[in-house]
């Protein structure tokens, strides 16, 4: 995309990004602001949101709003505050590891609450307005865990599989309303979540962090971690007005780890 096209692609559109204070969410915010969107950063940490908003302020209009995606009342208040949304990026997520036999009900529920219920609650707040206006883009940042299984993250995988099912259902319900709903499914990405996973692997196995990283990237044919900006570029493509024929899709951004 040329610089001119990029600057105009999302002009006049309002994008809301959950988990927008760091990682993939921050990279997405950068791309959408550069493409002309007004961006609302949503998340639990006001400090992170404000820091990211300050970094993006020279490039466009950015505001922040604190919310807990797993709390219905918090979601409702936040979306009332930020106003009509044209592009929703459901990026907030959390992962905790445990063998299935040691997965507590509390851990299970926490993973579903943040990763699946949060996507449902936020989407529900925007779909009516999008339908009424005849335009909308909902982009769910899922994971390759929505497309396959990984050991020791049963709750996370189940939640992300649920996100994909929700994506396809919403895509069908709103197909004639000008609203598209898609899932972006990154592989292991250079984020704080993966950094914590590497530390966890190292502490539990006695390996170095570099050895743990090598284990993670071994499944990637490109032999590397995905970069947040690469995920953000896929989100930007789906967010544009010209992507209207793409809906109900799960797009793997994983260096060829999965080929669907």
Catalytic one of 150, 152, 156, 188: 156
CA–CA distance from 32 to each of 13, 27, 137, 234 (Å)?
Answer: 10, 9, 13, 11
Is there a catalytic annotation at residue 152?
no
Residues tagged active-site: 156
């Amino acid at each position: 995309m040329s610089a001119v096209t990029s600057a105009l692609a999302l002009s006049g559109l309002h994008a809301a990004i959950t988990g927008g204070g760091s990682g993939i969410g921050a990279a997405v915010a950068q791309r959408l602001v550069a493409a002309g969107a007004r961006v609302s950063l949503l998340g639990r940490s006001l400090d992170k949101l404000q820091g990211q908003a300050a970094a993006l302020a020279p490039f466009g209009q950015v505001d922040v709003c604190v919310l807990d995606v797993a709390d219905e009342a918090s979601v409702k208040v936040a979306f009332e505050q930020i106003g009509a949304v044209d592009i929703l990026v459901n990026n907030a997520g959390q992962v905790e590891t445990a063998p299935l036999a040691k997965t507590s009900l509390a851990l299970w529920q926490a993973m579903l609450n943040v990763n699946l219920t949060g996507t449902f609650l936020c989407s529900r707040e925007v779909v009516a307005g999008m339908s009424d206006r005849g335009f909308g883009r909902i982009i769910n940042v899922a994971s390759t865990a929505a497309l396959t299984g990984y050991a020791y993250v049963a709750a996370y995988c189940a939640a992300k599989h649920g996100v994909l099912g929700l994506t396809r259902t919403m895509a069908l319900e709103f197909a004639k309303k000008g609203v598209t709903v898609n899932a972006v499914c990154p592989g292991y990405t250079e984020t704080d979540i993966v950094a914590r996973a590497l530390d966890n692997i190292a502490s539990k196995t006695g390996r170095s962090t570099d050895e743990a990283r090598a284990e993670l990237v071994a499944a990637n044919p490109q032999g590397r971690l995905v970069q947040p900006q690469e995920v953000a570029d896929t989100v930007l493509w789906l967010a544009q007005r010209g992507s209207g024929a793409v809906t109900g899709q799960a797009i793997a951004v994983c260096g060829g780890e999965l080929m669907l």
